[in-house]
Amino acid sequence: MSKKAIFSTAAMIFILFIPLSLAGLRAASGNRLPAKSADIDKEALKKAQEQKVVRAIKLTEPIKLDGLLEEEVWKNNPPANDFLQRDPVDGAPATEKTEAWVAYDEANLYVAAYCHDSDPKGMVGLLGRRDSFVDSDWFFFAVDPYFDRRSGFLFGVNPAGSIVDEVLFNDVSEDATWDGIWEAKVTRVADGWTLEMKIPFNQLRFPRKDSYTWGVNFQRTIKRKQEKLAFAWVPKEDSAYVSRFARLEGIENISPGRRVELYPYSVGQAQFRPAEPGNPFETGHKYLGNVGFDLKVGLKSNLNLDISINPDFGQVEVDPAVINLSAYETYYQEKRPFFIEGASMFNHFGRGGVYINANINWPNPRFFYSRRIGRSPQGYPVHEGYVNFPDRSTILGAFKLTGKVGSGWNVGFISAVTAREYATVDDLEERYRDEVEPLSYYGVLRAQKEIKDGQQGIGFMATTVVRDLDNDILSTILNRRAFSLAMDGWSFLDKKRTWVIGGWLGGTFVQGSQEDIYRLQQSSMHYFQRPDATHVSLNPEATSLNGWAGQFKLARQQGHHLFMLSAGALSPGFDPNDVGFQSSGSDLVDVMGLYGYQWTKPGKVFRQWTAIVGGSVQYDFGGNRTFNCLAADFQGSLNNWWNFEYTLIYVPEALSNRLTRGGPLALVPHGVIHQLFLNSDSRKPVVLQGNFSYEWAHRDSSEWMADFSVRWKPRTNLSLSVGPMIGFSKNETQWVKKVSDPLMTETFGVRYVFGRIDQKIVASEIRINWIFTPTLSLQAYLQPFVAVGKYDRFKQLNRPRAYDYLVFGEGESTISEEDGSYLVDPDGDGPAASFYINNPDFNYKSMRGTVVLRWEYRPGSLLYLVWTQNRADFSYPGQLSLWRDLGNLFTAPGDNIFLVKFSYRFNL
């Protein structure tokens, strides 16, 4: 895999967010078209949608939640039944009848639906774990209780009784991490299926009033036809969703209720790994236990407070194995429930209003990356001996406040304290406790205000990290304080919201000891030591570092024609990484332009397609062009319901200020990138998916990678997916090391050493989902991973700004292998000193797996049984022999962890 600064991040990201590809309308069909799309007057239909009203009925008798629709309220009141297609023919009438009702009492909202079907045997009802959008028929109820035309909630159920729910925000965005406490029952009938939902008002956020007008939508998926229906229909070419909801009227004299929920938990863990003779910490087994509780409190009808005391912040599913040869850290998804629930409030900073999310080679900095909280300790022990090192920092306590306050301000606040952590060192004579992580405080504040029903918006985010550094070693490698403050906003430029301008601007401030800030200036995020840079320089006496960043976009995102122009910059001192994340270095000015055209009418070959062309150019603050490209992307859906996307990027030669890792500029040759994605018809028992890429840089590197996935659904409650991946790459300029040599005047007294790496990766991801009931499931995950790298053709950069290298062993230079290292004499009999290169070859083999039994034995109360295993082997570096390596992997000693977690929900 290419590890160049350009090619490692140059993959184009085209996420054209067409709003009704939301959860409720995710499937789509292969039937004959019931109407010609050319016959549909979409403008007339859009005007008709504006007049739609649903009347909520006040209950006079209790509802027996059984999905049978036997109550009089469902029989005697007219339903909402005017549904339109989004697929297969956008705007055509539904081919099957759907009826929906809304009722309420003092404490709950009730939704009922009758999903008629002319072929009941053809209905698809797959069992899925909660929030799993399985390939099934679905019915969705979406509601906007604030009636702000920007936010809301979505609840879904399928014919098997599986449920999903989401928070809706930014008009077209959704967050499936939210889990409300609500119920749904379904029943199959002779001509379809029926359902009832019961949603407590205290699960919804809305201000107290005498009477209410809310936004509402009903949606249905008929999987065998790939037919997607909506009561409040929006054309495919329009970027809108919540803002087009129908009105829900008739709700009055209710109380939002006070939500107080207590979740005590207990967890027990047994760890088994091979004993290590003489090591007092590796006896072969370890037993751990913990107790704590979470408290969820509705402070007002529109504010929620989450408090965790001695929280269990371990994650159930393991992180995937990766090989990272770059200078930057790997980004991992958050998997801890406390942080993923409601994360959209923090994660979508800077994206309000602009629904087209497209970037080319932009680092996309995040001001908040929740995995910083409770991360692995960053220090190291000072004593020698056997070490017992903590795998993560203990979170002593945390609380989170989310909701709305004042006149339309959305707020979110997270506060957490992590403990001081120690590594225990035993030299068989004495035992030591060396501090490896200080006591730390993390704070994140996010607020956003929508103006004129979302026509404009403004917000800000502030973060704080404060560490109690009373350890001399830790004070040289960790920042004592880190702060950030940023603002974001948007404004639609017309009433139809076709054109929008949006963006963000912020800054960071880091404070620490002189040694720490000197280290930070030389880190891969900054490289202030670059000898040919005129706009940055090292300051060994500095005790702080600050910087600014921003990005602004102008976009056309309605209709067939799409357009985006963006400009962004990251100043050399910008650094959000204490509590945020940035995928590559700062010191960047970026300009990007894209034009796209989307066609939504089915034709002879395509059901819909989008074509995009554009380009990007980037400079550092010294005026050096570090990247530019021309790109084209074509994506669509075929009439057989296969989906595809092909991307072509041409990258001209440019100067890299990252390749020499703090050294002078180096030339990166021109190249091309090809990417192809394919996905088969999801209605079939076997679903195929493939990702293919080829990257090439003139004289320098090439990479080919194929990533497949085969998903088999043999039964309605069982699915198996196997995803093999294979990759081959060669890179002539893979970083190795640097060696000081005053004779190298061309490269400022340093030899920058690279090697050719021949890398091969073979891996697979295997998943089994066995769903017994909507509340009881067994899931298994296994990832065998083999990555082999062989280095040769070691070389040095001869001069900056050129692709000019001396390959050791050519000319007067010599190279020889000695005891696992290479001895290099760069000029033979000349005056230059010889130096060693440690053999960097590797053969990393990993097997990671987990089995999880999850039982929600009552709403909100959970039991987990988990088995996790990790194996690793490093034998035969630089040599790939697949069957030998797999054999060594399967016979390697493994770490086994067995975990039991029990939690109970008390509704107070």
> Per-residue confidence at 207, pLDDT binned at 50, 70, 90?
confident
> Per-residue confidence at 313, pLDDT binned at 50, 70, 90?
low
- Please tell me the predicted confidence (pLDDT) of residue 650: 97
The neighbour count for residue 599, using CB atoms within 10 Å, is: 16
Beta strands 821-825 and 814-818, pairing class: antiparallel
Sheet of 821-825, strands arranged across? 814-818, 821-825, 835-838
- Please tell me the predicted confidence (pLDDT) of residue 2: 35
Give which of 801, 546, 545 is closest to 657, Cα–Cα. Answer: 801
Q: Calculate ∠ Cα 190-196-202, nearest 5°.
A: 175
Both ends of the chain: CA-CA distance in Å?
A: 54
| Positive/negative CA dihedral, 470, 475, 478, 480 | positive
Over 50: is that where the pLDDT of 621 sits? yes
Measured between alpha carbons, how far is 738 from 790 in angstroms, rounded to an integer? 19
Q: What residues are paired with 724 via a beta bridge?
A: 764
For 42-103, give the DSSP string: HHHHHHHHTT-EEEPEEPSS----SS---SHHHHSSPPB---EEEESSTTPBPSS-EEEEEE
Measured between alpha carbons, how far is 148 from 459 in angstroms, rounded to an integer? 16
Asked if 540 contacts 579 with a C-beta cutoff of 8 angstroms, the reply is no
Over 70: is that where the pLDDT of 4 sits? no
Measured between alpha carbons, how far is 878 from 863 in angstroms, rounded to an integer? 45
Asked if 591 contacts 628 with a C-beta cutoff of 8 angstroms, the reply is no
Q: What residues are paired with 694 via a beta bridge?
A: 674, 704
The neighbour count for residue 709, using CB atoms within 10 Å, is: 18
491, two tokens: 């404004």
Measured between alpha carbons, how far is 180 from 860 in angstroms, rounded to an integer? 8
Higher model confidence: residue 86 or residue 332? 86
Q: What's the rounded mean pLDDT across residues 179-206?
A: 93
For the chain, give the mean pLDDT: 90
Q: What's the rounded mean pLDDT across residues 659-671?
A: 96
Q: What's the rounded mean pLDDT across residues 202-209?
A: 85
- Please tell me the predicted confidence (pLDDT) of residue 356: 86
- Please tell me the predicted confidence (pLDDT) of residue 12: 38
Beta strands 285-300 and 303-309, pairing class: antiparallel
Read off the pLDDT of residues 318-362 as tens digits, 9 standing for 90 and up: 566 666 666 667 767 777 777 877 778 888 898 888 988 888 999
**CB contact set of 621 (below 8 Å; sequence gap of 6+):** 535, 536, 571, 572, 587, 589
Read off the pLDDT of residues 512-531 as tens digits, 9 standing for 90 and up: 999 999 999 999 999 999 99
**CB contact set of 301 (below 8 Å; sequence gap of 6+):** 205, 206, 207, 208, 256, 257
Which residues of 640-749 form beta strands (DSSP E)? Answer: 643-651, 654-656, 666-668, 671-679, 686-697, 701-715, 718-740
Over 90: is that where the pLDDT of 637 sits? yes
Over 80: is that where the pLDDT of 17 sits? no
- Please tell me the predicted confidence (pLDDT) of residue 20: 32
Read off the pLDDT of residues 355-373 as tens digits, 9 standing for 90 and up: 888 889 999 899 999 989 9
| Positive/negative CA dihedral, 123, 124, 127, 133 | negative
Long-range contacts of 533-541 (CB under 8 A, 24+ apart): 533/622, 533/657, 534/622, 535/572, 535/620, 535/621, 535/622, 536/572, 536/587, 536/621, 536/622, 540/514, 541/514
Tokens 């049978």 belong to residue: 68
**CB contact set of 30 (below 8 Å; sequence gap of 6+):** 88, 225, 226, 640, 641, 681, 683
- Please tell me the predicted confidence (pLDDT) of residue 317: 56
- Cβ-count burial 875-890 (b if 16+ within 10 Å, e if not): ebbbebeeeebbebbe
**CB contact set of 590 (below 8 Å; sequence gap of 6+):** 361, 362, 551, 566, 567, 568, 569, 616, 617, 618
Over 80: is that where the pLDDT of 31 sits? no
> Per-residue confidence at 18, pLDDT binned at 50, 70, 90?
very low
Higher model confidence: residue 148 or residue 11? 148
**E strand or H helix at 345:** helix 344-347
Higher model confidence: residue 122 or residue 17? 122
831 phi and psi, to 5 degrees? Answer: -80, -10
* Alpha carbon distances (Å) from 728 to 323, 696, 703, 845: 13, 12, 6, 16
Q: Considering the entire predicted model, what is its pTM?
A: 0.88
Q: Calculate ∠ Cα 466-472-476, nearest 5°.
A: 65
For 576-636, give the DSSP string: -TTTSB-SS-S-EEEEEEEEEEEE-S--SSEEEEEEEEEEEEEE-TTS-EEEEEEEEEEEE
Give which of 578, 570, 443, 571 is closest to 510, Cα–Cα. Answer: 578
Give which of 127, 213, 189, 195 is closest to 155, Cα–Cα. Answer: 195
642 phi and psi, to 5 degrees? Answer: -85, 145
Q: What's the rounded mean pLDDT across residues 716-730?
A: 95
Measured between alpha carbons, how far is 714 from 769 in angstroms, rounded to an integer? 11
Measured between alpha carbons, how far is 306 from 259 in angstroms, rounded to an integer? 11
- Please tell me the predicted confidence (pLDDT) of residue 321: 60
- Please tell me the predicted confidence (pLDDT) of residue 326: 67
- Please tell me the predicted confidence (pLDDT) of residue 328: 67
Q: What's the rounded mean pLDDT across residues 778-796?
A: 95
| Positive/negative CA dihedral, 404, 406, 407, 413 | negative
Read off the pLDDT of residues 528-579 as tens digits, 9 standing for 90 and up: 999 999 999 999 999 999 999 999 999 999 899 999 999 999 999 999 999 9
Read off the pLDDT of residues 814-846 as tens digits, 9 standing for 90 and up: 999 988 899 999 998 899 999 999 999 999 999
> Per-residue confidence at 24, pLDDT binned at 50, 70, 90?
very low
Measured between alpha carbons, how far is 834 from 154 in angstroms, rounded to an integer? 67
